[in-house]
Amino acid sequence: MKIVDCDYFVVGSGMAGLMSALHLASYGRVVVATKGRLADCNTNFAQGGICCVMDPADTFDRHARDTMIAGAWLGKSEVVHEICEHAPEGIQDLIDCGVRFEKGRDGSWDLTREGGHSARRIFHAGDITGEKCEAAMIRRIRRSGVETLENTIVIDLVMTRRIGVRGENRCVGAYVMDKKSGEIYAVRSPNTILATGGCGKVYLYTCNPDSATGDGIAIAWRAGAKIENMEFIQFHPTCLYHPLARRFLISEAVRGEGAVLVDRHGREFMKKYDPRGSLAPRDIVARSIDSEMKRTGDDCMYLDIRRKGRAYLMNRFPNIYHKCMEFGIDMAKDLIPIVPAAHYTCGGIQATTDGRTSIPGLSAVGECASTGLHGANRLASNSLMEALVCARLTAARLGPHPDKFGKGAARPAIPDWKIGSAVPPDEAVLVAHMWDEIRRLMWDYVGIVRTNKRLARAAHRLKTLRKEIREYYFRYLVTPDTLELRNLAVCAELIVRSAQRRHESRGLHFTLDYPRQSKRPRQTVLDGFRG
């Protein structure tokens, strides 16, 4: 079996992964693996922007307070302040990569505002901020000497205990599969950094790309890592509602610039749910839209920004404007139909701001990590900020003082991948069926509003599905679809188990059985798999 050796193995090609790789490139050999192309990631779809206090009238304390409020006071205060205060360095990193953020006529930064923010502090590059950032980072990666493995999916982490190495149980790399050739080999490294994004595809309706199957969270849990706060799945309140509009978001920035939420008659409704109206945090807005849809029986609600005029909209939101026009919706004269959709995973692998997890040799950065920044709900545009800051802090920890394979340990021998009696799969329809069933039951039973009964039903069915998936996994040769299904099922179970442990309604976790918020915030921590 082929073994690729490197000093730093980064899994994921979004902002967290590529920035980690760029910062580490000067310290040793860096290999980045991604299961599609480099640009196939959530970062590439981010429209709104990146939070960073830059206006003299704004303060880090105000940003931290907004973050804590949005997170229903479950965020870890010291983490929130640390990340907010390091944001300017992250913005500079992107500028150094060649990202051109918008400026006003006077040359100052054109900062915008989004829901939950008390000030304008969102850096943006038009309304395709993520796409421009991703393109700039990829250009820099191509020139950096970092090796990239595209169309490469990680199967599982290589743990010393599982390969018979004595001493502390640590991660020494991963088994991976080349999706095009089917070859399975190992990447051996004393430092594995997971930056694999979230698990939005666990739900039937999501604005995430198809790659968002929670791979990093699932493989970390199977390796024994602690998982935190998986019950908090953020539903973006304004996904474009159209049969041909797949995964297209109407950015939070549209409401930040004056759009209001209305019903089909053009009547505003948010003020009866929250005094902040259409600029309330996402969890409140999503629940309010869901409530209005259930009350009226309508399939969607609407955004109204017609008063801004065509010239302004085409200049400020060119991508969104033209995309809506493709579907016959003119933002300048029509209401924009929207529905909530699964968007962001606020929990994940328990990690510090500099990437440490509960497993030596394994770091986690970005959406797959739970640092304590988001608490029970993510404040708009804090995600890319977290990715930038934590990538920089993780590299600062690992670069000058890289972890080795353990005290005095040599490079461990990694056994060949064994296929046993597995045969080529002949019933791919089973994978498609189980994939569809998981996503539908999660949408129906573990969505925006939950109950004990719904969670119990989901838990029961997921237990059976995971058994069926396990049998299928060992009976047939692995395929990318099988690996993603396996990971998706793990993430679904982690979400349900975490939701069952939280006997209150807080942030993104709203349950009719426990409608009140408890006085003492607490984290939900699940120990990793021990089998």
Which residues are catalytically annotated? 282
Whole-number Å distance between alpha carbons of 207 and 210: 9
Please count the helices (runs of H) and the strands (runs of E) in the chain.
13, 19
Cα–Cα nearest to 214, from 473, 439, 431, 492: 492
Whole-number Å distance between alpha carbons of 334 and 354: 46
Whole-number Å distance between alpha carbons of 449 and 460: 19
Could you tell me how many residues make up the chain?
531
DSSP codes joined into one string, 337-351 = EEEEEEEEE--EEE-
Whole-number Å distance between alpha carbons of 40 and 37: 5
Answer left, alpha or beta for residue 256, where phi above 0 means left and psi between -120 and 50 means alpha.
Answer: alpha
Whole-number Å distance between alpha carbons of 42 and 134: 10
Instruction: Report in angstroms the alpha-carbon separations of 57 from 63, 119, 186, 305, 382.
Output: 12, 9, 52, 27, 19
Host H or E run for residue 157:
strand 152-159
Whether residue 51 contacts residue 121, with contact meaning beta carbons closer than 8 Å, is answered with yes
Q: The tokens of 203 are what?
A: 């739900």
Instruction: Report in angstroms the alpha-carbon separations of 9 from 104, 117, 172, 355.
Output: 40, 36, 10, 14
Residue 424 CB-density burial (10 A; 0-12 exposed, 13-18 middle, 19+ buried): exposed
Whole-number Å distance between alpha carbons of 201 and 487: 11
Q: Residue 148: helix, strand or coil by DSSP? A: strand
